Amino acid sequence: MSDDERRADELIELAITQDEVEQAPLQPGVPPPPSMHFASRFGGVSGVIAPLITTLIAFLMGGLVVALTGKNPLKVYHAIWNGTGLNWFFHIGNHSARVPFSTTHMWFPWDTSSVAAQNLQQTLLLTTPIILTGLAVAFAFRCGMFNIGGQGQYFAGTIFAVWLGTSFGGLSPWVHVPLVLVVGALAGAVYAGIAGLLKATVGAHEVISTIMLNWISIWVGSYLFGQGGPLQGSQPSIPISNDIVDGAKLPVIWGLKLLQGLSIGIFIAVAILVVYWLIINRTTLGYEVRAVGFNPEAARYGGISVARNYFLAMAISGAFAGLGGALDITGWEYRIGENDIHANTIGFIGLAAALLGRNTALGVGTASLLFGALINGTSGRQLDPSIFRPDLAGNLTTIIQGLVILFVGLNVGGVWLWLKRRRGA
């Protein structure tokens, strides 16, 4: 092997060890105990396999619940699968598709207007904010903090997006859209920054402060969009904001705007995944954040300001979640009501995605798609009542999501791998 080849190999290896190595779940900042070093040496493999096993076990137990209701789990899962739209990829044929931002059509292997296509659009719309709230958890986690405040930070972005999106009627979309997105992200950053600042200065635990900030955001939102609130729409007695102006809406590239087609939001989310990976693995900031996350005392000894990194990591986390809120508003929701504020749990789904995805870019992206698909596939709109009761279907998602969090917390997949390896070793 030449020197250059070896170097390239090592670079790849480095990327893997940095990004995919075991992130001890639910224990930010604590270096793995000696007994786990064994496992972490297999980081590259168990980093993928353990979450897979975790998911599998969660689905099996979900299936058990379905069976308890007297329905056939296989049929139910099949129906959910079809509802996610992911089956779209498996129907290849001779079709044509419109090239985005133009009127020309060209040959395409998939039917872009089938029911499955519409389902897939919904799944991807849902995946977008989950990726971002997931990253909000993941980034803070890398710095040794548990950010439960993704929901509040998402609302901060939502609120500013609605406010700015419903104002400035005549503004060019080239200015308006970026303005809304940037301010949404900033709002999230400032909001999370409060928790970061409290942690950095007086040592207030971020779990407590972010939970409190969640509640504050919910009630502030409730007031703003509620009856007589300053952002309530022009229709009196309906506690919903106005629609944002057309110039603030993201371009829809697939499907119809009126039918909640897919906006470019998903591409922004994927781009942010790349940004996340870059920050974590390729910048001095990411280096510092990870050092603080793994061992704050060693970081301090290395001349790294622990307090500054706590603040920055929290603010960046908040920016991700805030952007998620802004993307939802500008991408398909266009408005928000008091009820939505109380019903929305995207921040917590992001938490599950980050845990399952082990705080890596690829992991969070994949887990977000899983949860996005699951939520869409089990929504009452999609599921045939004769196969499974729609009102229970949504709960199935919650069950699977809860089991995933529980299992990741207990590291069920990891334990399973470990036991197997010990036996076999």
Partner 1 sequence: MAVAPLLELRGITKRFPGVLANDKVDFDLRSSEVHALLGENGAGKSTLMNILYGLYTPDEGQILLRGEPIELGSTKAAIEHGIGMVHQHFMLIPVMTVAENIVLATEPRRNGVLLDFDAARKRVQELSNRYGLLVDPDARVDRITVGQQQRVEILKALYRGAEILILDEPTAVLTPQEAKELFEILRSLKSQGKSIIFISHKLNEVLEIADRITTLRRGVVVDTIPASGATEESLARMMVGREVLLRVDKKPAHPGDPLLQVEDLVVFDDRGLEAVRGLSLSVRGGEILGLAGVDANGQTELIDAIAGLRAVRSGRVIVDGHDLTDAHAKDALDAGIGHIPEDRHRRGLVLPFTLAENLALHAYRKPPNSERGFLNLRAIFARARRLLKEFDVRGGTPSTPAAALSGGNQQKVVLAREIDGDPKVLIAAQPTRGLDVGAIEFVHRRLVEQRDAGRAILLVSLELEEILSLSDRILVIYEGRIVGEFPPTATEEELGFAMTGGGRDREAAA
Ligand X SMILES: Nc1ncnc2c1ncn2[C@@H]1O[C@H](COP(=O)(O)OP(=O)(O)OP(=O)(O)O)[C@@H](O)[C@H]1O
Residue 240 burial (CB count, 10 A):
17
Residue 108 burial (CB count, 10 A):
15
CB 139 within 8 A of CB 276: yes
Identify residues 214-273 at the interface with ligand X (CB under 6 A): none
Q: How far is the CB of 279 from partner 1 (least distance, A)?
A: 10
Binding marks (x or -) toward partner 1, 19..38, rule CB under 8 A? Answer: --xx--------xx-xx-x-
Query: What residues contact 256, with CB distance under 8 A and at least 6 apart?
Result: none
Q: What is the separation, in whole angstroms, between the first and last Cα of the chain?
A: 31
User: Residue 425 touches which of partner 1, ligand X, none (CB < 5 to 8 A by kind)?
Assistant: partner 1
- Position closest to ligand X via CB: 38
Query: What residues contact 424, with CB distance under 8 A and at least 6 apart?
Result: none
Pair of tokens at residue 245: 């102006």
Q: Does 114 bind partner 1 (CB under 8 A)?
A: no
Q: Does 37 bind ligand X (CB under 6 A)?
A: yes
Looking at the Cβ atoms of 253 and 285, the one nearer to partner 1 is: 285
Choosing from 75, 98, 257, 300, the residue that interacts with partner 1 (CB under 8 A) is 300
Options 37-45, 99-107, 187-195, 417-425: segment touching ligand X (CB under 6 A): 37-45
d(C-alpha 352, C-alpha 358), whole Å = 10
d(C-alpha 204, C-alpha 194), whole Å = 11
Residue 299's H or E segment, with its range, is: helix 296-301
Looking at the Cβ atoms of 8 and 406, the one nearer to partner 1 is: 8
Query: What residues contact 46, with CB distance under 8 A and at least 6 apart?
Result: 22, 39, 413, 414, 417
Choosing from 2, 70, 228, 422, the residue that interacts with partner 1 (CB under 8 A) is 422
Q: Does 112 bind partner 1 (CB under 8 A)?
A: no
CB 32 within 8 A of CB 40: yes
Residue matched to tokens 């789990």: 73
Q: How far is the CB of 144 from partner 1 (least distance, A)?
A: 11
The count of chain residues that interact with ligand X, using the rule CB under 6 A, is 3
Q: Does 38 bind ligand X (CB under 6 A)?
A: yes
Q: How far is the CB of 37 from ligand X (least distance, A)?
A: 5
| Binding region for partner 1 (CB under 8 A) | 7, 10-11, 13-14, 17-18, 21-22, 31-32, 34-35, 37, 40-43, 281-287, 290-291, 294-295, 297-305, 422-423, 425
| Binding region for ligand X (CB under 6 A) | 37-38, 41
